[in-house]
Structure 1
Amino acid sequence: MKKVLHLLSGGGAGGIEVLCEQIGLRGEYCHEFCFLFSAGIIADRMKEKGITTYDLSSEGFMGKRSRLKETFLEGGYDAVVVHHEGVKIYYLYEMLIRLAEREKLLEVTFIKYLHCAFDEGVFYTGNWIEDRIHHFMLGRTLNDSDHIVAVSEFARDSYVDEYGIDGAKIKVVYNGIDVTKSAFREKTDSLGAEDASRDSSHLLYIGRVVQEKGLEVLLRAMALLKDRGVKTQLDILGDGDARTSLEKLSTDLGISQNVVFHGVVMEKEVYYKAAGIFVYPSTCLEAFGISVIEAMNEGLVCIASRIGGIPEIMSDDSQGILFEAGSVGALADAIVEAQRRCSADFYEDYREKIIERAAEFDIEKSVGELEVLI
């Protein structure tokens, strides 16, 4: 059986980490995961499920170099996949490439996994020297990899445009989910007419609580709808450095009683059952939106910004509602339309289309497409 070593910066509750967990559980090959700078809840869960993990977070940088070299040479790996971004992780990945060359381990395949689109606003700090080093190291990592995987066509094209890479070198592998893990899907066949609707007032957001995710736009849209007499309530699952300012904003807008910040939640089933509409109001160049797929798989009517790779998920109006990123008015109108789609008259037909679309993003397919490259 082939062995694969995956390099990650950390093992917290993020989309990349959850995807890696699924790769470890579902791959035909033996996938092992090295967390270089921090561990976290997903890293712990992977270990509990019997996936081999290496936690180098307590080591100094020189210690990480030594441990990683030792792990690589003793592991007999057929491939190394690097997931996260950053100069330090690029350096350690490049170190393994050079080590494989010196040790004549020419059969080892090196893969750069692009989970985000190229976006200077996200990648760069504003420090010219640091940013130039980052740009150079990322370019070298892309050039030295045997294969590059991007999670969307938009992500692929952003690196082709920035670095002049041959697009044929980059394989698009859409992120996948466990489509069988859906309480809603399990009961779909037995739904009666009285079940053919969702709670149209109940909104749900799952993701990082940071400025670029557009939650301020969502809160302002809710306030606008309140002024119009349209009832909404919102559950926010996730955490981040914008939480305090957003909690204050909800109070200032007079909607704090309608918004609940839950923090990081691992078991989301109860929230999927309660909500009717999922909103993903990102204002950054999203490469993909795994939370959107998960919500579609649970039968929620989905609203998302028309930005980045998100339109590749909801490529047809029957699969969801796209709105102009950053527009409060457009999002408010989209919520009203989503509420209409939650009604019994519309939802019975609509749910079949969104569940069928979600099924196209099966994690088994994603893992298989990755393993073909190894």
Structure 2
Amino acid sequence: MKLLQALFFPPEQPGGVSSMIPYLQDRFHSSRWDMEMFWLPKRIRNKGQEEPVFHTFDWKEFEQSPIVLKYIQTYVDYIWWIRLRLQKPYDLIHAHHPIAGLAMKTVFPDTPLIQTIHSSYERELILNGRIEENGLEHRFLISLYRELEYVSQKLITVSRSFANYLSSYVELPESIAIIPNGFDEKRFKPVPHENKIPQLITVCRLVPAKGLDVLLKACAELKRQGYDYVLHIIGDGPSRQELEDMAKDLGIYQETIFYGYTLHPEEFMPFFDIFVLPSRAEAFGSVFAEAALSCLALVGSNVGGIAEQIEDGVNGLLVPPEDYVALSEALEKVISDPQYRYELARSAWDTAKNRYSLTKSVNELKKLYLKYQP
């Protein structure tokens, strides 16, 4: 069976897709399966000239928005790149971004398409202050979900909470499949260690949606209470300078290390103690599963896919979003009690290995793919 995994970002791009898709090829390497990956290189800009066609809405209603126009241009660039680079037919295409799925179906209309929606671009833009709720851009982006349902043989998402979110925008919400991201356990090697001062780590894009302002306020509260810690922030983004200034203003800059973007944080994550990320929204939150497989104690906000991964007090701690006091209190629990911290970390490791193994995801995908075998 000839399979194509259609990505938008290159495989090394940080995020949920890169945590699973590049590792699928080894698991599908056999005489029965022939899998390739395809994505749009960053250098491809303003090449496409093709008029986009949508079956379920008129995109011209939104063309006054520069953000929508940029999205459309990227979509037709992707079509241009497909026509230039792909010639041979495939038995099945599995797309992991709306642009990738819509473009593939335009070029290969007779090939079955499975579409995984990993996250909500419109929610991220709203939380990051880029667009307004119910504005042109928001309405355009949520219209794409119905279009994806129309052109796909199957819609997949990565958590129950995100499937519930999508249900408002599709005709047959009950047909959405849920397959969480899977993680290759060989990539994660928990390391016995003992840090005299608890080491906190967070890994994310530095944007308002991730709630790092809340984390910094919580850490300032910890310092006021007399707790020692070091906070390691791995990632980059438009909010970095603002967050660094905030750390200085709060008097915690000496306790906070900004690393910038790092390609494989899982390689040194096991040497930390506590993973914390108070996101304002999260479709799945792959980095929580990665931290769990590294045997770290987890502290996260009670939203979206995070709340599906963490059972509060069992394999991590959940706090309300935006509540820096509650976050500080949760961190205090795991900082002040190493044994409790270890118990949470061990439970998180067990849970992640059972629920989010790559083997389990691969088996589910294989069963789904075989339904469309020619």
Q: TM-score range by the shorter chain?
A: 0.7 to 0.9
Aligned partner letter, 1:362: S
Aligned partner letter, 2:36: E
Equivalent in 312, 318, 322 of residue 322 of structure 1: 318
Distance 2:197 2:221 in 1: 17
1:217 Cα deviation (Å)?
A: 0.5
Per the alignment, residue 214 of structure 1 pairs with 211
**Does the 8 Å contact 1:235/1:260 carry over to 2?**
yes
What does 1:74-89 correspond to in 2, within 5 Å?
74-85=87-98, 89=100
Q: What's the secondary structure of 1:175's corresponding residue?
A: coil
Counterparts in 2 of 1:354 and 1:131: CA distance versus 1, 3 Å? closer
Mark the runs of 5 or more structure 2 residues left unpaired by the alignment.
Answer: 50-76, 370-374
Aligned partner letter, 2:3: K
Aligned partner letter, 1:311: A
1:93 corresponds to 2:92: no
1:313 corresponds to 2:316: no
1:174 corresponds to 2:180: yes
1:202 Cα deviation (Å)?
A: 1.2
Equivalent in 140, 147, 150 of residue 154 of structure 2: 147
Per the alignment, residue 358 of structure 1 pairs with 352
User: If the length of structure 2 is used for normalisation, what is the TM-score?
Assistant: 0.80
Distance 1:82 1:199 in 2: 46
Aligned partner letter, 2:179: V
**Does the 8 Å contact 2:197/2:230 carry over to 1?**
no
Equivalent in 278, 282, 287 of residue 279 of structure 2: 282
**How much identity, in percent, do the aligned residues show?**
25
Per the alignment, residue 2 of structure 2 pairs with 2
Distance 1:148 1:122 in 2: 23
What does 1:327-342 correspond to in 2, within 5 Å?
327-341=323-337
Q: What's the secondary structure of 1:3's corresponding residue?
A: strand
**Does the 8 Å contact 2:236/2:260 carry over to 1?**
yes
**Does the 8 Å contact 1:177/1:363 carry over to 2?**
yes
**Does the 8 Å contact 1:150/1:170 carry over to 2?**
yes
Aligned partner letter, 2:6: H
Aligned positions, number: 333
Aligned partner letter, 1:308: G
1:373 corresponds to 2:368: yes
Distance 1:290 1:119 in 2: 19
Mark the runs of 5 or more structure 1 residues left unpaired by the alignment.
Answer: 40-56
Counterparts in 2 of 1:232 and 1:111: CA distance versus 1, 3 Å? same
**Does the 8 Å contact 2:314/2:347 carry over to 1?**
yes
User: If the length of structure 1 is used for normalisation, what is the TM-score?
Assistant: 0.80
RMSD: 2.6
1:33-88 CA distances to partner (integer Å, 9 max, x unpaired)? 2222527xxxxxxxxxxxxxxxxx2671246434413545x222111222224xx5
More helix by share: 1
Aligned partner letter, 2:242: S
1:227 Cα deviation (Å)?
A: 1.0
Q: What's the secondary structure of 1:339's corresponding residue?
A: helix
